[in-house]
Chain A
Amino acid sequence: MSASASQDGFVVFDKVQKSYDGETLVVKDLNLSVGKGEFLTMLGPSGSGKTTCLMMLAGFETATNGEILLDGKPINSVPPHKRGIGMVFQNYALFPHMSVGENLSFPLEVRGMGKSDREAKIRRALDMVQMGDFINRRPAQLSGGQQQRIALARALVFEPELVLMDEPLGALDKQLREHMQFEITRLAHDLGITTVYVTHDQTEALTMSDNVAVFDDGRIQQLDPPDVLYEAPKNSFVAQFIGENNTLDGVVKEIKGEHCVVELDGGELIDAKPVNVSKVGERTRVSIRPERVEANKDRLAGDAHTIKAKVLEFIYMGDVFRTRLKVAGNENFIMKTRNAPDQVRHKPGDMIEIGWMPTDCRALDFG
């Protein structure tokens, strides 16, 4: 769990709990602080509590216990329409009976803004998402990507300081999604808005965010910048959830500071970095990223432990080779190698020897 939330963040969750039925907690003791201008992503499998957190922040769900603070003020009893938080919904929720212009005008009208001010703001918001020509269209006449842009413009047009996004790119195809990821981050940074973004797509989380909170089982499993999250997962769940990951189970044989030796269940010895293990004899699950597995002994340290592997499958993917190996009983051990002229293309059935830098192999908790 991340350290107890500091009270000086722009958005603060302080020991927040949520239960729908009074018997089980959907959100368990959530502490989270989002700084002003930060882009925070809540990432997690469905049912992990991330959307519930977003809905509590937006005001559509009430926290069963604990306090949510916005800019230092508790907002638990503030109704959603008084929170002044922009929100982009999963299905965009553009009002189908209003034109694009009327959709954008809506938040300004309910704030009692005059006509000329409204028009200027609508114009600016539409230009911001490059949709200026579509002001008179109906949402149904727009493509998914265009609707997405309008939804974004509508959430921003009244200049909120905080914008929430609930899986806004889920319905778009891959290419458009990547393009919009870039647009959303650019807008968020240009405008200096604080953004809380919910997704179950880890690529999205890694590419867009300043910080990612990985949710599982109603708790934040790790809250870190994307690179830390990927390279230094704090537990097996995060390691499994973020990116591709090989795991091997074993027992800690010896620990020396930042280095330990793990005896796998098959008896092989490997080098690892102790993360969640503290004593000899503890069961552990070690995690190695596929791209950090090395079959070329020249690139390994001289005293590194190596391990025998049988090639089961070789997949040519263009920029990389993906080799599926059987390692210590694990038949889904993946090795990713860059497509280079000197790279070996293994054939199924080959017996090879693989190894890795001890720092890339993290000994984590056992499941």
Chain B
Amino acid sequence: MAMSDASGNDVAIGNETDSKGRLLTSDGRPLRAALERANRRRKLTAFGLVAPLLAFIVIFFAFPIVQMMWRSVDNPAVVEALPRTLEALQDWNGEELPSEDVYRALYEDMMADQDLPRLEQKIGPLAVRLNYEVSAARGAISRTSRNVDEFEAPYKEAFMDAHRLWRDTEIWRIIEREGRPLTASYYLAAVDAEYNENNEIVRTDENRRIYVALFGRTFAMSLVITFMTFALGFPIAYYLSSLPMSKANLLMIAVLLPFWTSLLVRTSAWIVLLQGQGVINDTLVGLGILDDENRLSMIYNQTGTIIAMTHILLPFMVLPLYSVMKTIPPSYTRAAKSLGATPWTAFRRVYFPQTLPGIAAGGVLVFIISIGYYITPALVGGQDGRMISNEIARHIQSSLNWGLAAALGSMLLVSVLLLYWLFNKLVGTDSLKFG
């Protein structure tokens, strides 16, 4: 074809090579080395620009995350508190109560602990740790350890008199199982499973299962919220992208407003609107659409959480959509129409497919943010609008089971990464456009 523009004339000068066939510069240095030297300064500048943020991220983001994930398997309490007991337990058959040797070892461990300075004592953490597994453990251990200096041989009897827990093989089984530096028990708890008396993994009782259902609900609600932001955001973004810049900016402010209002103000507004005696219910009753007894419950439940979160996360959908739509020239739709497509076909087959990168970006953004959202479900979620992050927060703030919180958090993180990987496989990240 006459349009090829390749000249095809190779220039012979500058093509000298050394013995290994590498290209040389005109003064005989290897070309690669020369290039590297020329680029070094640029690379150093680039690194210098990135370094502060990199350091910040490593110290305040990457490091805590790794530490958090470590906490979900880290299990030092038993190993550190009961080294002698664990050694003695090695010969235990696991069927009946351990022998006098084991009880003596336990006595020695507890006595040794009392000699330590208060801040280095290990029995306290042990009591907390074992309490996650069996709820009487905390009281039993702390009570026993307070009185242990009065114990006399045979220690087995002494311990069994001190608390009924020491008469039960279960506590010994737990000590043996958790007497390792790493544990899976937090993850088991996080997926509603536990060990039975034969050290087999089984599901917990039906009425004690929480987390699997909570994960499921979190995902389902996030999906609903993502879809809602899409359904509300797409038309707005489309309209905005068709407006001239000055008008679009004005309307964009309306979209961004949720970013700029205080969370509490916003939430109070939702409460005023949505509560049983709120504006919406009063209006509906006043108009005779609802009976006074059948007022809608729209807050302190899932509905409230979904409504509020859709509002808050809407900009995350609108912005990527808008930025993608802004780059689609109107001539595509016009071309489709001139080729005979009805406006609907032109939209469906020509316009819409080109907005997919924006939909994907907005969807991923909204979904990932809502999966880990904490504050809104905590404020307006009530009981059935709670999400997994509320449970994580509870374990960190009130139940103080940081291992379980870490396990739940790690699972959340991994599932987000997994989704992102899956998304990347299906759609490809290069088509993401965050604006």
Residue pair B334, A80 in contact (C-beta under 8 Å): yes
B335 contacts A by Cβ under 8 Å: yes
* Interface locus among B260-268, B291-299, B349-357: B349-357
Q: List B residues 1-54 near A (Cβ within 8 Å).
A: 1-3
Cβ contact within 8 Å between B335 and A87? yes
Complex Cα distance A107/B346, Å?
Answer: 11
- Which B residues from 334 to 348 make CB contacts under 8 A with A? 334-343, 345-346
| B331 close to chain A: CB less than 8 A | yes
By a CB distance below 8 angstroms, the chain A residues around B332 are 93, 95
A83 and B335 CA atoms in complex are apart in Å by: 13
A97 vs B332: C-alpha distance when bound (angstroms): 11
Given contacts A93-B332, A95-B350, A106-B349, contact A80 B1 (CB under 8 A): no
Determine if A107 and B3 form an interchain contact, defined as CB atoms under 8 angstroms apart.
no
Take A96-B354, A110-B345 as given contacts and tell me if A85 and B338 are in contact as well, using a CB distance cutoff of 8 Å: yes
Contact call A106/B2, Cβ cutoff below 8 A = no
> Shortest CB–CB separation between residue B64 and chain A, in angstroms?
42
Output the residue of B336, B340, B343 with the most chain A CB within 10 A: B340
**Complex: chain A residue closest to B342, CB-CB:** A81
- B432 CB, min distance to chain A CBs, angstroms: 15
Which residues of A lie under 8 Å from residue B336 when comparing CB positions? 95, 106
Closest to A163 in B: B338
Q: Is A37 in the interface zone, CB < 8 Å from B?
A: no
Report Cα–Cα, A58/B331, bound state, in Å: 12
* Alpha-carbon distance between A96 and B349 when the two chains are bound, in angstroms: 12
List the B side residues contacting A96 at CB < 8 Å: 354
- In the complex, the chain B residue whose C-beta lies closest to that of A180 is B3
Report yes or no: B3 in contact with A81, Cβ–Cβ below 8 A. no
Are B341 and A146 neighbours in the complex by a CB distance under 8 Å? no
Please state if B337 and A81 are interface contacts (CB–CB under 8 Å): yes
Asked whether, in the complex, the Cβ of B341 is within 8 Å of the Cβ of A110, the reply is yes
- Chain B residues within an 8 Å CB radius of A225: none
Q: Is A230 an interface residue (CB 8 A)?
A: no
Q: Which residues of A72-108 are within 8 A (CB) of B?
A: 79-87, 89-91, 93, 95-97, 106-107
Q: Of A59, A90, A106, A179, which one neighbours B341 at CB under 8 angstroms?
A: A106
Asked if B329 is at the interface (CB within 8 A of a chain A CB), the reply is: yes
Other-chain residue from A79, A93, A158 in contact with B329 (beta carbon distance below 8 A): A93
Shortest CB-to-CB span from A98 to chain B, Å, is 8
- Complex CA–CA separation, A97 to B349 (angstroms): 10
Q: Which residues of B contact A145 (CB under 8 A)?
A: 3
Q: Contact residue range for chain B?
A: 20 to 34
Task: Find the B residue at minimum CB distance from A60.
Answer: B334
How far is the CB of B410 from the nearest CB of chain A, in Å?
38
- CB-CB under 8 A from A164, the residues of chain B are 338
Nearest CB to that of A148 among chain B residues?
A: B3
Indicate with 1 or 0, residue by residue over A44-79, a CB within 8 angstroms of chain B CB atoms.
Answer: 000000000000001110000000000000000001
Residues of B within 8 A of A95 (CB): 332, 335-336, 350, 354
Q: When the two chains form the complex, which single residue of B331, B339, B343 contacts A107, counting CB atoms closer than 8 Å?
A: B339
Known: A106-B349, A110-B345, A143-B3. A90 touches B339 (CB 8 A): no
- Which chain A positions have C-beta within 8 A of B1? 130
> Is residue A111 contacting chain B, with contact meaning CB distance below 8 A?
yes
Could you say which residues of chain B place their CB within 8 Å of the CB of A320?
Answer: none
The answer to whether the Cβ of A154 comes within 8 Å of any Cβ in the partner chain is: yes
Say yes or no: A81 contacts B331, CB within 8 Å: no
State how many angstroms separate the Cβ of B272 from the closest Cβ of chain A: 44
Q: Quick check: is A176 within 8 A (CB to CB) of the other chain?
A: yes
Measured between beta carbons, the chain B residues less than 8 angstroms from A110 are 339-342, 345
A110-B339, A110-B345, A158-B340 known; A89-B334 Cβ under 8 A: yes
A321 to chain B, nearest CB (A): 32
Known: A107-B339, A179-B3. A93 touches B345 (CB 8 A): no
What 0/1 readout, one digit per residue, does chain B (308-343) give for beta carbons within 8 Å of chain A?
A: 000000000000000000000101101111111111
Q: How far is the CA of A122 from the CA of B197 in the complex (A)?
A: 73
A-B contact pairs, 8 of them (CB 8 A): A85-B338, A86-B339, A87-B334, A91-B329, A93-B332, A95-B332, A158-B339, A164-B338
In the A-B complex, list the 10 residue pairs whose CB atoms are closest, starting with the nearest.
A107-B339, A93-B335, A87-B338, A93-B331, A80-B337, A81-B337, A110-B341, A145-B3, A97-B353, A89-B331
A89-B334, A110-B345, A146-B3 are known; give 16 further A-B pairs, CB within 8 A. Answer: A58-B334, A58-B338, A80-B338, A81-B343, A84-B340, A85-B338, A86-B339, A95-B336, A95-B354, A106-B349, A107-B340, A130-B1, A143-B3, A154-B339, A155-B338, A158-B340
Q: Which residues of A contact B (CB under 8 A)?
A: 58-60, 79-87, 89-91, 93, 95-97, 106-107, 110-111, 130, 143, 145-146, 154-155, 158, 164, 176, 179
